[in-house]
Each structure stands twice: as structure tokens, then as C-alpha cells.
Amino acid sequence: MVNFIWLFFIIAGFIVAAFNGNIEAVTQAVFDGAKTGVTICIGLISILVFWLGMMRIAEDAGLLKILSRMLRPVVRFLFPSIPDNHPALGYIMSNMSANLLGLGNAATPMGIKAMQELQKLNPDKDSPTPAMATLLALNTASITLIPTTLIAIRLNYNSANPAEIVGTTLMATAIATATAIIVDRWYRSRIGPKSS
């Protein structure tokens, strides 16, 4: 559906530009947008490679295990229906750790694996369990200590202080995460004990 919406906007833009005699402006905008996209991607790749390398060093040094250990009580509280030592718990903790460090791209595969493991526990394969809904809410809102992607974009555009957004990002993501948890708990209380 989203593809059709974007296709509509693109075609409508070309039609309006043709009627107004500005088709060359649209062509120039397409090429400028493509050039900007490549520039941003190269900048993001360098930052992402750096932080993935840091994540690997943190993993080898045991920092991620420490972070996961610290997150374990929170994860057990948020996902009470998942059995102890189930693989989904490990993926969820890795996902949350990566999101905390601002590595959304690194967190995504772990989130997908967690969802696959949660689906194995799901008695009704056609609808999500409350644990799956909780993971989706947390992954979408997740607290971010270091917003690496935004810092990379700001670096690309020569920001005088690209890291100045760390405090406001932390506050915004903390509020979003708290709201996600509150709404999740409210919905869980409304649907009852159906395989929390």
C-alpha cells in the first residue's frame, strides 16, 4: 500500500510540473536528491562501521554481557510469559542493548530473531501475543544513549556540534519508552491473562 502512495506522489509531481512548465526543475531535483542520498549513505556507513566495531569490541570485552545482565530483571518484568533460558530472551536483551547504544541497524536482526522465537511460543499463529506487542513497542520507542545515526547525519551537514542532541534525544526516547510500557501494560490489563 505504501508503494502505491509513493507512486501516486511521484506521478502527481511530474504531472503538476509538466502542466506548470517546470519539468526541468523536477529532473534537477531528482538528480540532486540522488546525489544527497549517496552522500548521506557514505557518511552513515562510516559511522555505522565505527560503532559496529565498537560494539564488537564491547562484546569481546564482556560489556554486552554486563549490560544484558543489568537488563535481565527489566526483561523478565516486561516479558513474564517467556520461559527462563528461552532463546527469545537473549535476542531481546541483545536488541535492547544495541538500541541503548544507538545501533538501530544492528538491533534490527536481533529483533527479528526475537520475534521468530516468540512466534514459536505463540499458540495462535495468526495473531501476535502480548509479548510480541511489547517487543514491538519497546523496539520502536527504545531509549537511546548515543544517537549515532543522527550524529552521523549532523556530521555530514557540517554541524558545529553534532553531539549536542544527545541530552534531548535521551529525554525524548526515555519518555517514549515509558509511554510505550504504560500503554502496553494498560492494554494487557484490558485483554486479561491471554498468554501474556
Phi, psi of 192 (to 5 degrees): 85, -165
| Cβ–Cβ under 8 Å, residues 137 and 180 | yes
**What pLDDT does residue 168 have?**
92
Which string of DSSP letters, residue by residue, matches 81-118?
TSPTT-HHHHHHHHHHHHHHTT-HHHHHHHHHHHHHHH
| Cβ–Cβ under 8 Å, residues 113 and 86 | no
Query: What SS3 class is residue 30?
Result: helix
Is the pLDDT confidence value at 166 over 50? yes
Cell 523478565: give the residue: 76
Is the pLDDT confidence value at 45 over 70? yes
Instruction: Please state whether the predicted TM-score (pTM) of the whole model is above 0.75.
Output: no
CA distance 159 to 43: 13
The mean pLDDT value for 85-114 works out to: 82
The mean pLDDT value for 165-188 works out to: 91
Q: Which cell numbers hold the place of 166?
A: 544527545
The mean pLDDT value for 162-176 works out to: 91
The mean pLDDT value for 141-158 works out to: 81
Residues 45-68 as b or e (16 or more Cβ within 10 Å = b): eebbeebeeebeebeeeeebeebb
List the single range of 65-74, 98-107, 175-184 with lowest mean pLDDT: 98-107
Is the pLDDT confidence value at 57 over 70? yes
**What pLDDT does residue 190 have?**
82
Q: Between these two residues, 196 and 98, which has the higher pLDDT value?
A: 98
Q: Which cell numbers hold the place of 171?
A: 529525554
Q: Which residues, in sequence order, are CB contacts of 79 under 8 Å at separation 6+?
A: 88, 89, 92, 131, 134, 135
> What 8-state DSSP symbol labels residue 128?
-
**What pLDDT does residue 2 have?**
82
pLDDT band at 132 (very low <50, low <70, confident <90, very high): very high
CA distance 174 to 187: 20
Q: What is the overall mean pLDDT for the chain?
A: 83
List the single range of 48-57, 89-98, 106-115, 153-162 with lowest mean pLDDT: 48-57
**What pLDDT does residue 195 have?**
46
CA distance 52 to 63: 14
Query: What SS3 class is residue 158?
Result: coil
